[in-house]
Structure 1
């Protein structure tokens, strides 16, 4: 208890009975370093796997920037130098912003657990800069090129079909990968897709027979089991195959599985579907999020 008290006193943290109890209960190491604390917090937290991976990536980048850094090192100057370091490494403005947001999460947790005094919060005057990202989508012509692409390789065909299915339904990669036969139900004899979004936990209902003239159903019929269709491996690997498919279809865009979601929104808006309806189809809690996704085609502007 004396060691814990001295450790807190040295860091300028007022010692309270609750802090002592908390330190003993959790058996906190007295001289724990910032990276050790961060990794332990990430591993023990109930955050989603993707969020944990992002946090751990930021911790690795931080250790490359300042090996063995401690809590007292994380100051306004530390943040500014870290930002410059990331720029010199060739990172984009938004990638730098992502790392800084992850660091802010770790700093907030360190303050909550008493490792950093609240009055030493380094982000108080530090502004995280961010640029408006471009939401890449496919035009109707580009989508048709993919639809008409002749692919003999089974793996490439599987990745292409999954991508087209997501273009017709607006599914995220994470939602597509969790599909099972139970997600396809019949309402008045017509097939609907019912599922709960992995990211937002929102229940989504899609009339497959109405969206894009039922093209999603045509893709589904090529596969005996929905679960097998949904098994397309890691996102990064699937995106590499998508790059090959884009080249074969003469599409000069960097496309990923999330491009399918952007494409779905853009084409629905182009067809005249109200943005609030598109919001419900995508499972967004705010229509502002949907508006960010909806690119505007030149034809849409001319028609309007």
Structure 2
């Protein structure tokens, strides 16, 4: 489907004004429709729009007329989109009928919110990381649960502050949702609403007022002593040994779980790993190898597991906790989370908090403690925002102060 605008030179007035006509081309059929009350001199017509007049000339209403043309083109796109979503044949009669329908685009016939969210997910599958798509799916599933619980009328025009407050109360009071997860849900909704707005599915910008919530949480990582204890532990189970090696590979290189999972022998070089980073889309990223990561790769070279054994994320997070428990990584760790304004404090043995994400955190923190320059750490690990990285630096500085207190200050 294409929309274009032309001048009706055959309808020129005595003053030289020419009416504008819209031409819609779809499936080999052409639909012509005059644009009401829009006329211009030929000298102002350029790239299917009316260019501004000179200061010395009378005002030619280019702003008002161009807006009318833009609105008309957007309406045509919305009509075709609605027809596609609802299996309606968009023939000439249907298009002209809806163009004359002043109510088109209102709640009654606008694209459906849930259907459009599903389309949003499918559209992004080819360009977004798998983890991002999972977040989008979790968001729409949470919204569906909210709709079923509250009977809220979900439509584009109803995504407003009233929706936000009801959705927030449901998340905190009925689902005991942590603030940071609620913040991710709201971020997902805002991303979708922006996507839909750009496609002219709605004109509602109330969602821009939604506040995402984010509370700073503890950085969970393995200290060098804990990491080396895990690395050197002799497991009776090959399953746990493989999980341990995969985790340690992340903790020795700073690579994410998703990047380690796609690692191939062709990515391995004598002193480095070269691969495209899945999350940041960085091409040819170089990760230096140290003696520990080289030893793990050497262990599996020439085996069916080369370069390293892989495992699904869900099972991995379960098994790495089991590994750390066997090693004795059980230091009590205090964690604080918030559900709305309600504070939730927990004390857990450290092994219960170890997941695939803590491998990269362990690499960053231990590298800084061992004296690696901040710029080098950031370069190796890729995309870390300034605020997040500052927290790792502070942890490293605190560790150095503790070591000073435990050594020199005891003399």
Match of 2:178 in 1: 92
- Indicate the structure with greater helix content: 1
Larger Rg: 2
Name the structure with the higher strand share: 2
Residues 146 and 249 in structure 1, CA contact (< 8 A), matched pair in contact too: yes
**1:275–1:291 Cα contact (<8 Å) kept:** no
* 8 Å contact kept, 2:254–2:364: yes
Could you tell me whether the CA contact under 8 Å between 1:63 and 1:69 is conserved in 2?
no
Q: What is the deviation of 1:116?
A: 2.1
RMSD of aligned residue pairs (Cα, Å)? 2.4
Residue by residue over 1:116-159, the C-alpha shift from the partner in whole angstroms, topping out at 9 and shown as x without a partner, is: 21xx3223433222101322111122112212322121111101
**Superposition misfits of 4+ residues, deviation over 4 angstroms:** 285-289
Confirm or deny: 8 A CA contact 2:184 2:212 kept in the other structure: no
User: Which residue does the alignment assign to 1:36?
Assistant: 115
Post-superposition offset of 1:297: 6.4
Q: Are positions 1:123 and 2:197 aligned together?
A: no
The 1:58/1:301 distance shift into structure 2, 3 A limit, reads same
Deviations 1:80-139 (A, max 9, x none): 11111111211111000000100111111222222321xx32234332221013221111
- Say if 2:147 and 2:154, in contact at 8 Å, map to a contact too: yes
**Counterpart in 1 of 2:379?**
280
SS at structure 1 position matched to 2:164 = helix
Give the corresponding residue for 1:239. Answer: 317
1:225–1:236 Cα change, 3 Å: farther
Residue 20 of structure 2: aligned partner = none
TM-score, normalising length from structure 1?
A: 0.84
Range with greater deviation from structure 2 (238-247 or 61-70): 61-70
Structure 2 unpaired stretches of 5+: 1-23, 25-67, 87-108, 330-348, 405-411
Distance, in Å, in 1 between the alignment partners of 2:193 and 2:159 is 8
Matched residue, 1:9? none
Picking from 228, 241, 248, the partner of 1:164 is 248
Displacement of 1:34 in angstroms is 0.7
Q: How does 1:40-189 map to 2 (within 5 A)?
A: 40-45=119-124, 46-67=127-148, 69-88=154-173, 89-117=175-203, 120-186=204-270
Query: CA separation in 1, counterparts of 2:85 and 2:384?
Result: 39
**Pairing of 1:183-222 with structure 2 (within 5 A):** 183-186=267-270, 191-202=271-282, 203-208=284-289, 211=290, 214-222=291-299
More relative contact order, 1 or 2 (CA 8 Å, 6+ apart): 1
Name whichever of 34-43 and 222-231 sits farther off.
222-231
- Deviation digits for residues 214-265 of structure 1 (CA, Å, limit 9, x no counterpart): 1111111211348644442221110100111121112232111111111111
Q: Give the total of aligned pairs.
A: 282
Q: Are the structure 2 counterparts of residues 70 and 287 from structure 1 closer, same or farther at C-alpha, using a change threshold of 3 Å?
A: closer
The gaps in structure 1 that reach 5 residues or longer are 2-13
The answer to whether the 8 A contact 2:111-2:201 is kept is no
Conserved 8 A contact 2:254-2:359: yes
